[in-house]
Amino acid sequence: MDMTRGVPVQIHLETWVNQDGNNEHHEFNEPGQLVQMGDTLYVRYREQTDGDATVPVTFKIAGTDSVMLTRGTAETDTRLQLQFEAEKAVVARYTTPYGVIPVQTVTPRMDVVFTDDPLNGEVYIEYRLDANQQHLGDYRLHLNFTAAE
């Protein structure tokens, strides 16, 4: 299987958000693609938003304790790039139509599991977002990807 060219996968992503006492839960099931370059895995898909619009999403998985999430593109007005490092705080960039906002991720828990046969993987991350010394919220994400039949 040549994973440098990309393998079709089925994406199942769940996210939980707790901001100011409000809880939200989102679930996405999308077709995607898995690409391997060296020891790094890229999981890419397009997230359905309001109406017919889609937003490109990429998870860059470098080993079991480093994951980068990119939502949007450099060409769009809004691009969120979060870096998760197990048990570390990392400053990230949130590009908005009003400028770049530095945000910080603090990741107390990260689990990354990957198997070749059958090809599938799972990423679970618990993280906190802070900006300007303000606690923005607590988040969890659970990504599953499985080679499409």
pLDDT at residue 13, as a whole number = 95
Higher pLDDT, 41 or 132: 41
pLDDT at residue 72, as a whole number = 87
66-115 pLDDT, tens digit each: 999 999 877 777 788 899 999 899 998 888 888 888 889 999 999 999 88
Q: How many angstroms separate the Cα of 68 from the Cα of each of 23, 120, 135?
A: 24, 18, 20
Position 3 confidence tier, pLDDT thresholds 50, 70, 90: low
Radius of gyration of the chain (CA): 15
> Per-residue DSSP letters for 25-94?
EEEEEEEEEEEEETTEEEEEEEEE-STT-EEEEEEEEETTSEEEEEES-TTSS-EEEEEEETT-EEEEEE
Instruction: Express as a percent the part of the chain with pLDDT over 90.
Output: 54
pLDDT at residue 118, as a whole number = 78
Sign of torsion over alpha carbons 4, 93, 56, 58: positive
* Residue for token pair 């990260």: 110
Q: How many residues does the chain have?
A: 149
Query: What SS3 class is residue 4?
Result: coil
pLDDT at residue 53, as a whole number = 80
pLDDT at residue 137, as a whole number = 93
pLDDT at residue 65, as a whole number = 87
Cβ atoms within 10 A of the Cβ of 11, count? 23
pLDDT at residue 52, as a whole number = 77
pLDDT at residue 2, as a whole number = 63
- Alpha-carbon distance of 21 to 98, in angstroms, equals 27
